[in-house]
Structures are given as structure tokens and as C-alpha cells.
Amino acid sequence: QQQVKQSPQSLIVQKGGISIINCAYENTAFDYFPWYQQFPGKGPALLIAIRPDVSEKKEGRFTISFNKSAKQFSLHIMDSQPGDSATYFCASTGTASKLTFGTGTRLQVTL
């Protein structure tokens, strides 16, 4: 039972462009929304996270936008670089610290 829907499945962006990945959640009890980055052959690593009391969080080139009323949040990667090529997962968690992950977006940044 999918509780976090992520799109697109794959994304190709030119170097210097903006990458945008979207997620929608169903459970209004979710109160923590992290994004994980995964390189081939590695485990996921936390990239950036947001709580629902703010609408936006920025860390360097990475920004999360959060829309509580629409139950959606998105990851924006500004000035995308080839080194950003990876798979990105959104996730949500409420009580008991159990993360529910989206299905992932494979990002390729071309030269």
C-alpha cells in the first residue's frame, strides 16, 4: 500500500539546469519529510529534510518546498551538476520513527 507517491521515475537534466522531483503523501500524521540520495552500490544518505511547520528549506543548491494543504513536497536542485546524478528518494515518517519511502527518481545530469 503506497503511502508516498513520487514522480517522475527518471529525469534527465542538462548541467546548470534545475532538477525537480515531486512527492505526495496520504497520511496527515506524517510530520517529517526527508530526501535521501543514493549512488550506485551505496546505501541511501540523508540529503535534506523538512518539518511541516515551514514551507521551504534550503541547503546550498538543494531546496525542499512543502505544501501542507496539498500534502505535497518537492526537491529542487539548482545548477544541477553531473555529480548530482543519483537516485533520489523522498520519505515520510510519523510516530515510531518508521520511514515510508517513495519509489525513487533516477536523475541523470548531462554535460
Partner 1 sequence: DAGITQSPRHKVTETGTPVTLRCHQTENHRYMYWYRQDPGHGLRLIHYSYGVKDTDKGEVSDGYSVSRSKTEDFLLTLESATSSQTSVYFCAISLTSGNNEQFFGPGTRLTVL
Question: Which residue in the set 24, 34, 62, 66 belongs to the binding site for partner 1 (CB under 8 A)?
Answer: 34
Measured from the CB atom, the residue of 42 and 68 that comes closer to partner 1 is 42
User: Is 84 strand, coil or helix?
Assistant: helix
C-alpha 55/C-alpha 42 separation (Å) is 30
Cβ neighbors of 63 (< 8 A, separation 6 or more) are 48, 56, 57, 75, 76, 78
| Residue 12 touching partner 1 (CB under 8 A) | no
3-state helix, strand, coil in the chain (%, to 5): 5, 60, 40
Q: From residue 56 to residue 95, what is the string marking binding to partner 1 with x (rule CB under 8 A)? A: ---------------------------------x---x-x
Measured from the CB atom, the residue of 14 and 27 that comes closer to partner 1 is 27
Q: How far is the CB of 67 from partner 1 (least distance, A)?
A: 19
